[in-house]
Amino acid sequence: MTYTYKYPRPAVTVDIAIVRKVNETYELLLIQRKYNPFAGKWALPGGFVDMDETVEEAAARELYEETNLRGIPLEQFHVFSKVDRDPRGRTISVIFTGLLSNKQEIRAKDDAQETQWFPLDELPELAFDHAEIVEKLRNKLNVDGL
């Protein structure tokens, strides 16, 4: 059954913050965006939730499609819903976190131009509201450098 609504509806996205610890430094996995908006800018892996999947399935799919990582336990962290967070239109993003504890190889795929680990205290300028997401993650975890 198809429904139509008189009121506009926001899109739902997922973003994934994958962290690893190298020696005493925490690193965050970022992708370099291949397409607009923010082509060439660094961002958390993520994307739109498809109509036939849960946000958990979307997070696992997007992480694999953009970074080649799979099988990482992901946990819901927070929802970001600022009205103007995406220039393409109204989006609400469910943020997931995960810890890489194995030696999986990262590789840019799909709409990621590049993937790279960055020390959490040396991040490049981030697309969308991803700097705000990372700051909230640092505060929540209350860990120096994270």
The predicted pLDDT at position 4 comes to 80
The predicted pLDDT at position 56 comes to 98
Active-site positions read 114
Distance of alpha carbon 31 from alpha carbon 37, whole angstroms: 14
Per-residue pLDDT tens digits for 101-134: 888 899 999 889 999 999 998 999 999 999 999 9
Quick check: helix, strand or coil at residue 54? Answer: coil
Q: Please report where in the chains the tokens 């990582």 appear, as a residue.
A: 69
Distance of alpha carbon 107 from alpha carbon 69, whole angstroms: 8
The predicted pLDDT at position 142 comes to 66
The predicted pLDDT at position 143 comes to 55
The predicted pLDDT at position 102 comes to 82
Low-confidence residues in the chain, pLDDT < 50: 144-146
Taken in order of first residue, the domains within the chain and their CATH numbers are: 11-141 (3.90.79.10)
pTM: 0.92
**Which helix or strand (DSSP H or E) is residue 46 part of?**
strand 46-48
Distance of alpha carbon 126 from alpha carbon 42, whole angstroms: 5
Q: What is residue 69's DSSP assignment?
A: -
